Amino acid sequence: MKTTCRRFVLAFVVLALALTIAPNALARCGGLTASMKRPAKWDPQYGRAYLMNMALTDDFHDDTYSIVGMWHVTFTAEGNNGAPPDNTPVDNAVVVWHSDKTEIMNSGRPPQDGDFCMGVWEKTGKSTYKLNHFAWGGNDTTNAPGGVGNPAGPTQIVEVVTLSPDGNSYTGTFTLDAYDTSGNLTTHIVGVIKATRITLDTTVNDLL
């Protein structure tokens, strides 16, 4: 009989300790199941604990719209000291900014000259973005016999743009540096960018 009583008392003590220690262990995991959740002020530990609301957004991240999507983009020369003159069209392209922070552009250049190029982008502030973009080779002109010109080296385009408040357009600046096949700089152009979001309702006439 005494042995039975001792076992009962020991089992009761172990159970009481388990109930005291278990909440402490669960509190460190952060993954309580629905049946284990309690109101914010519930805390079986010594003293009292309270849940606090934290700000999860700031001016850097708190944007209603994203630049991710498909765009019609024009590149226009501006500020080049006359070569090329201001307002000279540089490119007219269809661009896609992907959610994985890569980008692809279908340039207005003829396909045989190399009309696809790619880049990577980063968000730099509220509604502002920077893109580092490369055209990897191509030809310098279509006026050569057979429509294929001399081999051309890569071109780097760096863009700094700002998305509009409604998310349907963006504007900014670009720097274009073109190189020959040996890596020598051959062309330097700066200018402005204007882009309009392409949607399910966009038509060909909207892009011309």
* pLDDT for residue 53: 41
The predicted model scores a pTM of 0.69
Strand spans (E) along the chain? 69-77, 89-97, 102-106, 116-125, 128-135, 138-139, 151-152, 155-163, 169-179, 185-197
Mean pLDDT of the chain: 78
> How far is Cα 160 from Cα 119, in angstroms, rounded to an integer?
13
Which DSSP string do the residues of 101-147 spell out, in sequence order?
SEEEEE-SS-GGG--EEEEEEEEEETTEEEEEEEE--EES-S-SGGG
The string of pLDDT tens digits covering residues 130-158 is: 999 999 978 877 666 666 778 889 999 99
Per-residue pLDDT at 125 exceeds 70: yes
Per-residue pLDDT at 160 exceeds 80: yes
More confident residue, 137 or 24: 137
Asked if residues 126 and 62 have their Cβ atoms less than 8 Å apart, the reply is yes
The string of pLDDT tens digits covering residues 167-195 is: 999 999 999 999 999 999 999 999 999 99
* pLDDT for residue 149: 77
- Looking at residue 48, its amino acid is R
> How far is Cα 132 from Cα 137, in angstroms, rounded to an integer?
16
List the chain domain ranges: 1-53, 69-203
* pLDDT for residue 162: 98
The string of pLDDT tens digits covering residues 102-112 is: 999 999 988 87
Class of CATH domain 69-203: mainly beta
3-class SS of residue 206: helix
More confident residue, 124 or 52: 124
Express the helix, strand and coil content of the chain in percent, nearest 5 each: 20, 40, 45
Nearest Cα neighbor of 159 from 88, 87, 84, 97 is 97
* pLDDT for residue 110: 83
More confident residue, 116 or 52: 116
What does the pLDDT average to over 118-124?
Answer: 98
